[in-house]
Amino acid sequence: MKRTLALPSLAAALMIALAAAVAVSLTSGVPKASAYYLVNGCDIYNEYNGKIYRCTPDRTTYYTPDGLNPNWIAPGTEGKVYVDDLGGFTVNDNIGIPPPAPFLYYRDYCSNPDWLPAAFEGHWQVACYNHDVCYGSQKGRLYCDVGFWRDMVFACRSMWASTFVKEWCIAEADQWYTFVRVFGASHYKPRQTSYEPRGS
């Protein structure tokens, strides 16, 4: 009689354990499902740093780590605004600012401290060059910084690499964007010569 009671209770215990395991696997992994893309097919859960990056409404890039849509930041934001002779506003008074040096693919335009991760610096050379040109042209510091974020994200998303490597790239872009927002003010200066940005 004991054997007939033990078998159903063992089967019931196994079924309960199986149901619990299925429930845990379905709930705990939701953000990571479907190659880490979320429901709309554009937002991603970044397994590398545990953050969710939301797509902009036009799906061309992600919101910045501080929640800004790069496509909505107008030139001149956090920069000087001038009034021209006709009473109109211009964000970039280039009088006295020489044109930038051309981009040279063999130069390094990304200047960063040793402690900042730089695994994808080689992919961001155009982003760094554009950022330097934007700062030198005095187009608005915030405008330049969100453009830097957009360019880095574009480079990450365009890489021929695994999803994890792209997420790693975006996580480092997050750190670089935060770095220029915190420490970039002292570098926001007009260009002095047409040899800038020089790179190294």
Per-residue pLDDT of 76-113, as tens digits, reads 887 654 444 444 444 455 567 899 999 999 999 998 88
Rounded to whole angstroms, the Cα distance separating 53 from 43 reads 6
Whether the pTM exceeds 0.85: the reply is no
What pLDDT is recorded for position 130? 96
Angle, vertex CA 194, rays to CA 182 and CA 90, nearest 5 = 65
What pLDDT is recorded for position 163? 83
Q: CB of 134 within 8 A of CB of 116?
A: no
Compute CA distances 9 → 13, 17, 19, 149, whole Å. 6, 12, 15, 59
Q: CB of 68 within 8 A of CB of 174?
A: no
What CATH number belongs to 72-187? 1.20.90
Q: Where are the domains of the chain?
A: 72-187
Per-residue pLDDT of 33-80, as tens digits, reads 334 567 678 898 888 888 999 999 999 999 999 999 999 998 888 765
Question: Beta strands 82-83 and 89-90: pairing type?
Answer: antiparallel
